């Protein structure tokens, strides 16, 4: 395949998919260790009503209001889960289930009630995104990477997910110590003055930001898969948090790249002319990686820790 | 139109779907209670998402065999098989690896769903798949449902409900006290499996009506709402079934009454409304009850402190205490203590002294343990015992008890 074909059609979706996968996998590591893995599931469901409400308020499909709406919705959901858990003394899983299904249902209903036929906003799109459509029209080959006017035409999702990824990396780096200590030993963390509750909240907020940005680009199914599968697979490979995070980044990028390539070109190899959903394929690959890690990973069993 | 829908006047199909959904709602509410009590509510989320690949594969197989591909029984059988595989995967991941159950649930949910989406895009590109309408399984659709499909849902809902009803006692036993259950000779593993199987059956039957993303709400929201009303398992089960049934009935009926009202979301929002109502207004466990309880407690503390201060002639600055004393006629508006106030205050002070004696007397240890500063002495000791204590205190005898 030549650069003239690869750069405009595949480079940007690949990059966006990879960045989104890594941005979700990084906070996913901590969520997994804190037994909060399903928070990603909840957030990715409640993003829908946020986006729909933002659309109803502004009347246009534009990224920033929608991301704000989605972020507001996920904060609302986190607050609601906490409120139900405290007020009703109900376990987190059930509180989460109540919150995200109700908010998702409200989102679907709003969407059905409003006329969105003229704009590109529907439930299917929200669920599995449209990674394949994020192409770089003005690129003509590798040399376009140095061409300012072509670079101005990059899909805006790329910039947003890149910024998000940097923010997530910076957060993980700067708050590494409180994150690590409060994850493994909340009691000790509290004793040496680490604000554990604040750290936990910050982690959820960062996860929500990553989820919303990734959702904008790739749909919710990848978000859930990337929050859980790469960190879970990495957990089977090592007992050290640093290595686990590196493994999870490797697994996340591998799933994104292999998944995208298989979805785009796999069907051609077996003689079909239609590509399949890239988001679904990326999630599938991450599951295969997890299955392999669960069967052969050196630290897979509970006793080896 | 609304009334027509609620009284089942919208034609055979709508009526059947509504009745089927109601049965399903009751069955889901009851089964969900046991899932909830076993703290496994979100397993059902994984089950429901894991049905998608099965539906797609069943469709492909039926088309490959030259069939219609839209045969609901075939699709539902496929969904049951893949949901079962998903459950096995969760079990395998939690048993053989170090992953916690929540991570296993999330992994199975996302991977199966992602794989289902891949299959869905393949089907959309097949010549037979263009009108397959499999997307309807994501969010449920009762519009344009065939008569035979409606029958399947009604029959499936009724059957599930019957099985739930026959198993409910033993499931309650296992959910509430697994140790006792196995001591009684109940095979708890098998009952757990039955609970999962029932959750799966509900998911599969409800797939067409509610859709696989929201069906989990029918299993989770009613029990959580019912939990506010009672602490007794049997009652929670019944209330949860009621909430599930009512919300499914209302949801299906309302959705049949107008276009653009998808069944699944309406059912979910109905049960969420019932949940909110329960959380706010349920007696004892509800938010309103808790607030009232807190206010009453506050009032009693202020009253007691105010009376003790009056008895000892100390000034009172706390405005809430003053207001309380004035309102119950113990203090006049200008701050002078009334006769009633004087007698109540000296009684409070005397009670405080009596408690002091009680707490220093080992023979009254049981009563002393009940001291919290608010409890009326007369509810703890008999009149004779109080008289005995008063003899120890001595002092003025004429204080009215």
Per-position DSSP letters for B294-329, written without gaps between them? HHHHHHHHHHHHHHHHHHTT-----HHHHHHHHHTT
* B206, two tokens: 């409800």
Looking at residue B24, its pLDDT comes to: 86
> Are residues B292 and B266 part of one domain?
no
B401 in any annotated domain: no
Chain B contact present for A279, CB below 8 A: yes
Whole-number Å distance between alpha carbons of A119 and B369: 69
Please name the member of A87, A272, A275 whose beta carbon is closest to the beta carbon of B287. A87
- CB burial of A209-244 (b: ≥16 within 10 Å; e: otherwise) equals bbbbbbbbbbbbbbbbbbbbbbbbbbbbbbeebeeb
User: Which of A20, A46, A98 has the most B C-beta neighbours within 10 Å, making it the best mutation to test the interface with B?
Assistant: A98
CB distance A101–B228 less than 8 Å? no
Chain B contact present for A244, CB below 8 A: no
Strand partners, B337: B331
Chain B contact present for A256, CB below 8 A: no
CB distance B268–A102 less than 8 Å? yes
Q: How many degrees, rounded to 5, is the angle at CA A145 between CA A140 and CA A146? A: 110
- The label of the residue with tokens 């009940």 reads B370
Considering only CB atoms, which chain B residues are within 8 Å of A224?
A: 106, 109-110, 113
Angstrom CA distances, A211 to A126, A134, A165, stand at 12, 18, 11
Eight-state DSSP code of residue B97: S
CB distance A280–B122 less than 8 Å? no
> Are residues B249 and B170 part of one domain?
yes
Please name the member of A36, A89, A102 whose beta carbon is closest to the beta carbon of B272. A102
Q: Other CB atoms closer than 10 Å to residue B281's CB: what's the count?
A: 13
Helix B339-360 / helix B383-393 crossing angle, nearest 10 deg: 90
Helix B263-281 / helix B287-311 crossing angle, nearest 10 deg: 10
- CB burial of B140-169 (b: ≥16 within 10 Å; e: otherwise) equals bbbeebeeebbbbbbebbbebbebbeebbe
CB distance B118–A263 less than 8 Å? yes
Chain B contact present for A209, CB below 8 A: no
Whole-number Å distance between alpha carbons of B21 and B4: 17
B400 in any annotated domain: no
* B152, two tokens: 């399947």
> Are residues B206 and B93 part of one domain?
yes
CB distance B114–A228 less than 8 Å? no
Chain A residue closest to B272 (CA)? A102
Chain B contact present for A252, CB below 8 A: no
Environment class of A157 (CB within 10 Å of its CB; exposed 0-12, middle 13-18, buried 19+): buried
> Are residues B180 and B58 part of one domain?
yes
- B132: CATH: 1.10.3470.10
Looking at residue B29, its pLDDT comes to: 92
- Please tell me whether residue B375 adopts helix, strand or coil conformation: coil
Considering only CB atoms, which chain B residues are within 8 Å of A282?
A: 114
Whole-number Å distance between alpha carbons of A173 and A179: 10
* Domain around B294: 288-393
Domain ranges for chain A: 3-220
Q: Confirm or reject CATH 3.40.50.1370 for domain A3-220, answering yes or no.
A: no
Chain B contact present for A276, CB below 8 A: yes
> Are residues B195 and B86 part of one domain?
yes
How many residues in chain B?
A: 401
CB distance B103–A106 less than 8 Å? no
What ranges in B211-338 are assigned the alpha helix state H? 215-227, 233-257, 263-281, 287-311, 319-327
Chain B contact present for A289, CB below 8 A: no
Considering only CB atoms, which chain A residues are within 8 Å of B106?
A: 37-38, 40-41, 224, 227-228
Q: Other CB atoms closer than 10 Å to residue A184's CB: what's the count?
A: 12
Whole-number Å distance between alpha carbons of B245 and B22: 5
Chain B contact present for A302, CB below 8 A: yes
* A217, two tokens: 């680009």
- The label of the residue with tokens 């072509």 reads A150
Environment class of B312 (CB within 10 Å of its CB; exposed 0-12, middle 13-18, buried 19+): exposed
Question: What is the rounded (10 degree) CA torsion for B62, B66, B69, B71?
Answer: -90
Angstrom CA distances, A189 to A171, A239, A250, A305, B231, stand at 18, 20, 29, 21, 36
> Are residues B275 and B175 part of one domain?
yes
Chain B contact present for A192, CB below 8 A: no
Chain B contact present for A266, CB below 8 A: no
User: Which of B98, B133, B229 has the most A C-beta neighbours within 10 Å, making it the best mutation to test the interface with A?
Assistant: B98
Eight-state DSSP code of residue B379: G
Could you tell me if B138 and A127 are in contact, meaning their C-beta atoms sit under 8 angstroms apart? yes
CB distance A229–B111 less than 8 Å? yes
User: Which stretch of DSSP H or E encloses residue B169?
Assistant: helix B147-176
CB distance B113–A221 less than 8 Å? yes
> Are residues B182 and B85 part of one domain?
yes
Considering only CB atoms, which chain A residues are within 8 Å of B275?
A: 98, 102
Looking at residue B122, its pLDDT comes to: 86
Angstrom CA distances, A188 to A172, A201, B15, B38, B196, stand at 20, 18, 60, 31, 39
User: Which stretch of DSSP H or E encloses residue B138?
Assistant: helix B136-139
Could you tell me if B218 and B35 are in contact, meaning their C-beta atoms sit under 8 angstroms apart? no
ipTM of predicted assembly, 2 dp: 0.90
Could you tell me if B167 and B192 are in contact, meaning their C-beta atoms sit under 8 angstroms apart? no
Considering only CB atoms, which chain B residues are within 8 Å of A124?
A: 135, 138
> Are residues B338 and B246 part of one domain?
no
> Are residues B23 and B75 part of one domain?
yes
Looking at residue A256, its pLDDT comes to: 93
CB distance A221–B100 less than 8 Å? no
Tell me the per-residue pLDDT of B300-317, one tens digit each, with 9 for 90 and over.
Answer: 999 888 888 888 888 888
Sign of the C-alpha dihedral computed for residues A171, A177, A180 and A181 taken in this order: negative
Angstrom CA distances, B344 to A283, B310, B325, stand at 73, 9, 11
Could you tell me if B22 and B254 are in contact, meaning their C-beta atoms sit under 8 angstroms apart? no
Could you tell me if B83 and B43 are in contact, meaning their C-beta atoms sit under 8 angstroms apart? no
B123 in any annotated domain: yes
Environment class of A6 (CB within 10 Å of its CB; exposed 0-12, middle 13-18, buried 19+): middle
Q: How many degrees, rounded to 5, is the angle at CA B242 between CA B237 and CA B245? A: 120
Please name the member of A91, A106, A279 whose beta carbon is closest to the beta carbon of B269. A106
Chain A residue closest to B138 (CA)? A124
Query: Which residue positions in chain B have pLDDT lower than 50?
Result: none
Eight-state DSSP code of residue B177: -
Domain boundary among the residues B250, B282, B314 is at B282
Chain B contact present for A224, CB below 8 A: yes
CB distance B220–A98 less than 8 Å? yes
Render each residue's pLDDT in chain A as its tens digit; 305 residues. 566 777 777 888 889 999 999 999 999 999 999 888 888 888 888 888 888 888 888 877 777 888 888 888 988 998 899 888 888 888 888 899 999 999 999 988 888 887 665 566 667 777 777 777 777 777 777 777 777 777 777 788 888 889 999 999 999 999 999 999 999 988 898 899 888 888 988 898 888 888 888 877 778 888 889 999 999 999 999 999 999 999 999 999 999 999 999 988 887 777 777 778 888 999 999 999 999 999 998 888 876 44
Look at chain B and report how many structural domains it folds into.
2
Cα of A4 to nearest chain B Cα, Å: 27
Looking at residue B310, its pLDDT comes to: 87
> Are residues B301 and B201 part of one domain?
no
């Amino acid at each position: 395949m030549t650069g003239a074909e690869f750069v405009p059609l595949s480079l940007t979706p690949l990059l966006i998919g990879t960045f989104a996968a890594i941005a979700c996998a990084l906070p996913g590591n901590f969520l997994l260790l804190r037994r909060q893995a399903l928070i990603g599931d909840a957030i990715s469901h409640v993003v829908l009503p946020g986006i729909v409400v933002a659309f109803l308020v502004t009347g246009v499909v534009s990224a920033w209001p929608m991301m704000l709406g989605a972020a507001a919705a996920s904060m609302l959901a986190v607050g609601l889960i906490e409120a139900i858990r405290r007020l009703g003394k109900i376990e987190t899983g059930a509180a989460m289930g109540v919150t995200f299904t109700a908010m998702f249902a409200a989102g679907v209903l709003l969407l059905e009630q409003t006329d969105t036929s003229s704009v590109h906003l529907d439930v299917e799109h929200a669920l599995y995104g449209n990674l394949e459509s994020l192409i770089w029209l003005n690129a003509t080959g590798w040399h376009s990477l140095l061409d300012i006017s072509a670079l101005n035409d990059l899909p805006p999702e790329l910039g947003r997910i890149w910024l998000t990824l940097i923010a997530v990396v910076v957060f993980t780096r700067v708050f590494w110590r409180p994150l690590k200590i409060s994850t493994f030993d909340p009691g000790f963390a509290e004793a040496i003055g680490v604000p554990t509750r604040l750290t936990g909240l910050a982690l959820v907020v960062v996860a929500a930001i990553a989820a919303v940005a990734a959702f904008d680009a790739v749909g919710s199914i990848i978000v859930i898969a990337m929050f859980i599968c790469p960190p879970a697979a990495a957990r089977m490979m090592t007992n050290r948090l640093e290595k686990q995070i590196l493994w999870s980044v490797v697994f996340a990028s591998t799933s994104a790249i292999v998944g995208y390539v298989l979805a785009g070109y796999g069907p051609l190899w077996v003689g079909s002319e239609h590509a399949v959903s890239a988001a679904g394929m990326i999630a599938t690959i991450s599951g295969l990686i997890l299955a392999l890690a669960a069967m052969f990973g050196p630290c897979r069993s509970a006793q080896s820790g | 139109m609304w009334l027509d829908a609620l009284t089942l006047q919208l034609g055979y199909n709508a009526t059947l779907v509504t009745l089927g959904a109601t049965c399903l709602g009751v069955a889901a509410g009851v089964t969900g209670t046991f899932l909830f009590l076993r703290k496994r509510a979100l397993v059902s989320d994984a089950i429901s998402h894991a049905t998608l690949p099965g539906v797609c594969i069943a469709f492909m197989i039926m088309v490959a065999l030259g069939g219609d591909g839209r045969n609901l029984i075939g699709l539902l059988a496929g969904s049951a098989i893949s949901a079962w595989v998903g459950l096995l995967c969760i079990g395998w991941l939690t048993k053989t690896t170090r992953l916690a159950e929540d991570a296993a649930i999330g992994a199975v949910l996302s991977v199966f769903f992602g794989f289902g989406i891949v299959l869905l895009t393949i089907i959309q590109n097949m010549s037979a798949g263009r009108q397959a309408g499999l997307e309807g399984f994501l969010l449920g659709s009762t519009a344009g449902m065939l008569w035979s499909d409606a029958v399947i849902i009604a029959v499936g809902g009724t059957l599930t409900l019957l099985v739930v009803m026959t198993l409910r006692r033993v499931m309650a036993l296992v959910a509430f006290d697994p140790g006792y259950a196995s001591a009684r000779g109940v095979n708890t593993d098998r009952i757990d499996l039955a609970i999962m199987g029932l959750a799966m059956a509900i998911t599969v039957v409800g797939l067409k009506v509610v859709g696989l993303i929201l069906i989990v709400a029918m299993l989770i929201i009613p029990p959580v709402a019912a939990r506010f009303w009672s602490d007794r398992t049997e009652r929670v089960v019944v209330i949860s079934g009621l909430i599930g049934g009512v919300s499914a009935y209302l949801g299906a009926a309302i959705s049949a009454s107008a276009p653009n009202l998808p069944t699944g979301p309406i059912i979910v929002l109905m049960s969420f409304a019932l949940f909110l109502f329960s959380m706010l207004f349920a007696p004892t466990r509800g938010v309103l009850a808790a607030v009232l309880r807190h206010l009453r407690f506050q009032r009693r503390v202020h009253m007691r402190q105010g009376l003790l201060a009056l008895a000892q002639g100390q000034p009172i600055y706390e405005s809430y205490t003053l207001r309380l004393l004035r309102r119950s006629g113990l203090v006049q508006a200008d701050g002078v203590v009334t006769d009633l106030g004087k007698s109540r205050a000296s009684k409070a002070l005397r009670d405080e002294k009596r408690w002091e004696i009680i707490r220093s007397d080992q023979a009254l240890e049981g009563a002393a343990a009940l001291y919290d500063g608010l409890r009326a002495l007369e509810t703890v000791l008999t009149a004779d015992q109080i008289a005995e204590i008063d003899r120890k205190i001595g002092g003025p005898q004429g204080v009215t008890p």
